[in-house]
Amino acid sequence: MELVRLNTLRAYWEALRDEVAGEVPARERVDPRGFSNALENAFLLEQVAPGMAKLRLAGQHLNDLMGMELRGMPFASLLFAQDRAVAERVLAQVFDDPAEAELRLRPARLGNAPDAAARMLLLPLRDRDGAVTAALGGLVSAGTTGPRPQRFEITAINVTPCAGAAPGRTPSVAEDRPAPGFAEPAAGFDGARRQPPRGRPHLRVVKSDD
Q: Helix, strand, coil proportions of the chain in percent (round to 5)?
A: 30, 30, 40
Whether 36 is in a domain gets the answer yes
This prediction has a pTM of: 0.77
**What is the pLDDT at residue 162?**
92
Q: Is the peptide bond before 149 cis (omega within 30 degrees of 0)?
A: yes
What does 82-141 look like in DSSP terms, one character per residue?
A: GGHHHHHHHHHHHHHTTEEEEEEEEETT-TT-TT-EEEEEEEEEE-TTS-EEEEEEEEEE
**What is the pLDDT at residue 151?**
87
- Lateral strand order in the sheet of 117-126: 52-58, 42-49, 132-142, 117-126, 99-107, 152-161, 202-205
**What is the pLDDT at residue 113?**
56
Whether 182 is in a domain gets the answer no
Whether 199 is in a domain gets the answer yes
Say if residues 78 and 103 touch (Cβ distance below 8 Å).
no
Whether 180 is in a domain gets the answer no
**What is the pLDDT at residue 136?**
98
**What is the pLDDT at residue 167?**
58
**What is the pLDDT at residue 149?**
85
The whole-number mean pLDDT for each consecutive block of 10 residues of the chain, a chain of 210 residues, reads 88 96 96 94 96 95 90 93 94 97 84 73 97 97 76 93 65 37 38 41 44
Whether 109 is in a domain gets the answer yes
Whether 184 is in a domain gets the answer no
Say if residues 90 and 84 touch (Cβ distance below 8 Å).
no
Q: What is the residue range of 60's domain?
A: 3-161+192-205
**What is the pLDDT at residue 148?**
79
Whether 210 is in a domain gets the answer no
The domain tally of the chain equals 1
The closest alpha carbon to 127, from 71, 185, 46, belongs to 46
- CATH number of domain containing 143: 3.30.450.20
